[in-house]
A and B are shown apart, each in its own frame.
Chain A
């Protein structure tokens, strides 16, 4: 039982700063996904924790004890690599057993137990080159898990496995990782993977943690327009607006329609903003209304759990709407009207990209 705590860790390689004052705590038994676009510094963070290189400043502690400067083998860390990093000259069994310093029947029992859990008992005698990518990743996971490490680092472990397996593992992994009491850091570039697996998501952009929150909070209340665009498929709809306060309510003009954006929250005039509305929060109907934006359907893409409509608003902006598959969708070229509930609207400062309104509350959390 040990807490992983990263305090104001910075690292620079020449002009690039893959870590710029990172602070994050992971509780024992908790899974935190580190999510961000490629090159944002996710792997550098993991490697500093694993001891492949040291931070320029800041501290990393496990169970209150600093591990900065300690050799990797004494940090109590298990790690699964994106490229598996199996030992090519050892069998799967020896690969897994390498994580245990002991020898004898105890090792055999523990290897058997962990490989049963990961469903690779039948390939234990194989060399890594004889394994499928899925089996390789399971072997690598078994190797990382078997020593019951205090901290478990997973570096985009599902990146190199096929889609079907990735789906299965997404369901399997949370249970597997919660078996022990390890503090788990899970790096991924796939927001769905992060949302499916993690208790909390830490969003890393350009070496800074821009938001750390539960998956639901990040989706519903992204701290900035950049985060809002990283989560969600189809991506969030945006429009340039300049809202004003009316009777305690913010309203704005969107493509000729007067839209209500929720409580003004004491903001009289927020200035130039991005309005963001999730595609699934749009309601598309053929009936006109005061608070409905006139639009034209450009294309309809049916997907198995939803239908995605590409719309052109009256002012030329293109938006996407995601509708339940059984909802009436219309056909291409139909004129329609688009609405959204006031509390579905998100406002972002156009200069800073930060969320307006609830943002200050979230940042405090």
Chain B
């Protein structure tokens, strides 16, 4: 060893003393979370690969790479466009109804009296019911021979209203169940938002005798907007992927009336064993939700930061 080579080593040894033990610790602790990420990402990548293949479980010898073949097939496939249209309709209907209803209830329960709090707790119960079980409950209630709802409409002279079994009322029925389960979610978020709003603008408006409609549209709504956007995006993302309620209620039927993305993908996989098509369908759904959720996450992180800032 020459002197020249040993010099830099000496210079390095002098000042800094790192602490490798502590630096490693956070990585060690987050290892399980990392594994879960891998457990999500590996199937996800697999699905992406499947979506580019001709892959049917019952015809394994046909398996092969077909590029965007599955996707291109969708363009001319009425079944796909039906799925697309049903999913969007279902999402828009549920989110709009739940938002309006949830906002209305939140406004009614705004003052934190004991009665209002009791009501808001009771409204938690539908939300805590498994959506699949909720669908069964409504299935019993709409049963043609003994369902209480069928009986009630018959009192109004509608004797053969078939609820989820009739193509013309099936969408209405599952939307009703979705509204029953998830409106409380919007209500709870908006109620928390309403109750956290500063009082001064409302007190000032009351002193100035500003009309109630002006207060609602010009003060309440704008201040509540971040909560409304967060809650609706949350619901939008869940609703476009709805599976439990629709599968438990009608399995996508009658016919293909309620064939939303995930139900269609499930049937493609298990009924038609067409893995490639199923994966492509889910990738399209993922693309839609990914765009929406990116908007959502940005919004949510901002709201979270603001809530922290106030505290």
Q: Is there a contact between chains A and B in the complex with CB atoms less than 8 Å apart?
A: yes
Contacts A54-B19, A69-B17, A71-B22 given; 9 further ones with Cβ under 8 A?
A54-B17, A56-B16, A57-B15, A57-B16, A58-B15, A66-B17, A68-B17, A69-B18, A69-B19
Cα A310 to Cα B18 in complex, Å, equals: 56
* Residues in A neighbouring B18, C-beta threshold 8 A: 69
Q: Which of A9-66 contact B (CB under 8 A)?
A: 54, 56-58, 66
Please give me the residue from chain B that is nearest to A70 by CB atom.
B19
Chain B 5-40 interface mask (CB, 8 Å, partner A; 1/0): 000000000011111001000000000000000000
Q: List 12 A-B contacts (CB under 8 A).
A: A54-B17, A54-B19, A56-B16, A57-B15, A57-B16, A58-B15, A66-B17, A68-B17, A69-B17, A69-B18, A69-B19, A71-B22
CB-nearest residue of chain B relative to A10?
B15
User: A interface, by DSSP: helix, strand, loop or mixed?
Assistant: loop
Which bucket holds chain B's interface residue count? under 10
Q: How many A-B residue pairs have CB under 8 A?
A: 12
Chain B residues contacting A58 (CB-CB under 8 Å) are 15
B15 surroundings in chain A (CB, below 8 A): 57-58
Q: How far is the CA of A259 from the CA of B55 in the complex (A)?
A: 101
CA distance A91 to B242 in the complex (A): 51
Q: Min CB distance, B13 to chain A, in Å?
A: 13
Number of A interface residues at 8 Å Cβ cutoff, please give it.
8
Minimum CB distance partner of B20 in chain A: A69
CA of A57 to CA of B15, assembled, Å: 5
Report the separation of the CA atoms of residues A54 and B16 in the bound assembly, to the nearest whole angstrom: 9
Bound-state CA distance A58–B14 (Å) is: 9
A58 to B16, CA, bound (A): 8
Q: How far is the CB of A199 from chain B (nearest CB, A)?
A: 30
Least Cβ distance of A218 to chain B in Å? 31
Tell me the smallest distance from the CB of B28 to a CB of chain A, in Å.
16
Closest chain B residue to A54, Cβ basis: B19
The 5 closest A-B pairs by CB, nearest first: A57-B15, A69-B17, A68-B17, A69-B19, A54-B19
Distance from A55 Cβ to chain B, minimum over Cβ atoms (Å): 9
- Considering the complex, give the chain B residue whose CB is closest to the CB of A69: B17
Nearest B residue to A66, CB-CB:
B17
Residues of A within 8 A of B22 (CB): 71
Q: With the chains together, A71 CA to B283 CA distance in Å?
A: 49
Query: In whole angstroms, what is the CA distance A128 to B104 when docked?
Result: 43
